Amino acid sequence: MLDVLLVTFPFFALVLAGYVAARRRMLPFEAIAGLNTFVLFFALPCMLYRFGASTPIAQMLDPSGLAVWLACALAMVAATVKFSMNARIRWNDASFGALVAAFPNTGFMGVPLLVALLGPRAAGPAILTILIDLVITSSLCIALSRLDSADEHGAAEAAKKALKGVALNPMPWAILLGGIASAIGRKPVAPVMNTIGLLADAASPVALFTIGAVLARSQAVAAAGEHGPLAARDFVPVALAKLLVHPLLVWGVGLAARAAGLPLDSFALTVMVLVAALPSASNVSLLAERFGADTGRIARIILLTTAAAFLTFSAAVALLDTGR
């Protein structure tokens, strides 16, 4: 366990540093958008491209892993929406709560953390989960969020806008280009590859620092527009579902799939369980703000999962006996 904490501590420490810097206004809130742009459009795509180009294409397009992760994501969304909705929480808030329950922080935190823990082989299954969550899970939850104030045509329009957002997101394209490079065994000329390498090396520390800053900003925005005290039952169960139910579900479904004869590699299943044990994706708070959901609730869930994951994620690594 101590060996695991020695690896995970710097990752969570950088998140805390970003949070403190933004809370103390050492980093102005106005500057966070610039950091986010650098990570999302420059550094992170280069990191994903580099991992994709060095990972066998079969690992990134594993049908068994895709089926298991997608089934679990849909189950998490359905269950969270069903158990969240009440007189205070309707479709919009329930849908974004479901998104933070099913969408781990894989891109900003998971890929570099899992590679540090398990080695380069962990990149393939982790990248597969990113594709599913970006394309399917996010689009589904955004469409469901529109059911409060729109008929099925409004939900369909929201889904189209979500898919358009996916098309403009550089991360799936970086993964695709990396997969093509892996499949054909070619890479850019040395000066270009060296530039990609420099940006990729910057992705992990800047992304982790940005997570903390985004959380601080989301918390401040939520506090400024707070409509009243938020009951713990409206956000704590979702956080527990993300950190405990999600990884257990992936583990159980993965074992059942293997027992049924699906050729799901045991290492890939371990990676997917650890991805599910990650905290909620921090960018969901930005989506919630854009679509008018209760950002206070979403920010609390993300903040709670991020803080608690330092222990719960480390415990999951130790329990899975990853060989460290």
Q: Does any domain span residue 238?
A: yes
Q: Does any domain span residue 256?
A: yes
In the chain, how many domains are there?
1
Global pTM reads: 0.88
Per residue of the chain (324 residues), give pLDDT as tens: 677 888 889 999 999 999 999 999 999 999 998 998 999 899 999 999 998 888 887 777 899 999 999 999 999 999 999 999 888 888 889 999 999 999 999 988 999 999 999 998 999 999 999 999 988 999 889 888 888 765 555 666 666 776 777 777 888 889 889 989 988 888 889 899 999 999 999 998 999 999 999 888 887 876 766 555 667 888 899 999 999 999 999 999 999 999 999 999 999 999 999 999 999 998 888 888 888 888 888 888 999 999 999 999 999 998 886 544
Q: Does any domain span residue 271?
A: yes
Q: Does any domain span residue 115?
A: yes
Q: Does any domain span residue 46?
A: no
Q: Does any domain span residue 279?
A: yes
The CATH code of the domain that includes 103 is: 1.20.1530
Q: Does any domain span residue 179?
A: no
Residue 215 belongs to domain spanning: 2-24+62-172+207-319
Q: Does any domain span residue 216?
A: yes
3-state secondary structure the chain: CHHHHHHHHHHHHHHHHHHHHHHCCCCCHHHHHHHHHHHHHHHHHHHHHHHHHCCCHHHHCCHHHHHHHHHHHHHHHHHHHHHHCCCCCCHHHHHHHHHHHHCECHHHHHHHHHHHHHCHHHHHHHHHHHHHHHHHHHHHHHHHHHHHCCCHHHHHHHHHHHHHHHHHCHHHHHHHHHHHHHHHCCCCCHHHHHHHHHHHHHHHHHHHHHHHHHHHHHHHHHHHCCCCCCCHHHCHHHHHHHHHHHHHHHHHHHHHHHHCCCCCCHHHHHHHHHHHCCCECCCHHHHHHHCCCCHHHHHHHHHHHHHHHHHHHHHHHHHCCCCC
